[in-house]
Amino acid sequence: MSGDFPVIDIAAVRQPQVSAAARLEIARQVASACEEIGFFAVTGHGVPGAVIADLVAQSYAFFDLPRAEKLAVRRPRPEQNRGYIAPGEERLARLRGDETPPDLKELYTIGPFDTPETPYFTGPAAYPSFAPNLWPARPVGLRPALQAYWHGLDRVAHSLPKHSIWRLNSSKTKSTGTSASCASCIIRLRRSRPCPGNCAPERIATSA
C-alpha cells in the first residue's frame, strides 16, 4: 500500500506460479484496507488500458450532452441506483450524520446486466438491487464501454477470492457466481461541477 489511500498491487495473484507468501502479503494488505478504511484501489489489475480509455471518453461524451437528454434516463427513485443523477440530488455527508448543502456532482450509474429471468432477479424482493439499467440513446458507445469495463472488473474481483485473499478470517469464505448475481455491485460514473460563487469546502464535489 502507499500513503494514506490504500493502493495495492495485485499483479501477483494473476500469475499461475505465484508463491503462497506473495498471496498472503496481498491478502494482508486487502484485509488491512477493508478493516481500517473500508476501500482501496488496485494496480496490476490487468484491465486493458484501451478499455479504460474508451470508458473515459464515452463518459465525457455523456456528461457533455444537453441536460434534457441526460434527464431522459434520470434515476426514477432515490433508492434506485440506476441512471442519471443530476447535481444537487445527493448529500453524501448524510451517511455520517452531517447536514450539508447538496453535492456538486452528477452521476450515471449501472448495476448488473444480462441476469437470468428467474424470481431471484425479477421478483418483488429483487428491487432495488436488480432494478433494470437505464441506457441512454447517446453516446452509442457508452453501453458497450461500460459492459466491457464491468467484465474486466469482474475478472479482477474474482481473482481475489480465487487466491484466498478473502479467507484470512474465515476458511469457509468462497467466491460464488459472477458480478451479474452481485446485489451490491454498481459502477458510478461521476463528474464534479464547478462551485458557484464562494462555497464552503464541504460543497466541493462531494460533501463527505
Per-residue pLDDT, averaged over 114-120, amounts to 91
Domain boundaries, the chain: 49-146+176-203
Q: Which three cell numbers stand for residue 162?
A: 480465487
In this prediction, what percent of the chain has a pLDDT beyond 70? 80
pLDDT at 180: 60
Q: Where are the alpha helices (DSSP H) in the chain?
A: 20-36, 49-63, 67-71, 119-122, 142-162
pLDDT at 134: 97
pLDDT at 178: 55
pLDDT at 63: 97
pTM for the full predicted model: 0.81
pLDDT at 162: 54
Q: Can you tell me the distance from the alpha carbon of 182 to that of 180, in angstroms, rounded to the nearest whole number?
A: 6
pLDDT at 69: 97
Chain segment 144-196, per-residue pLDDT in tens: 999 999 999 988 887 775 544 444 454 444 444 456 667 778 999 999 877 76
Q: Can you tell me the distance from the alpha carbon of 108 to that of 106, in angstroms, rounded to the nearest whole number?
A: 7
pLDDT of 27 above 70: yes
**Three-state SS for 84?**
strand
Between residues 55 and 20, the one the model is more confident about: 55
Between residues 66 and 205, the one the model is more confident about: 66
pLDDT at 184: 77
CA 15 to centroid of chain Cα atoms: 25
19-28, 30-39, 53-62, 114-123, range with greatest mean pLDDT: 53-62
Would you say 99 and 188 are in contact if contact means Cβ atoms under 8 Å apart?
no
Lowest mean pLDDT among 77-86, 126-135, 157-166, 185-194: 157-166
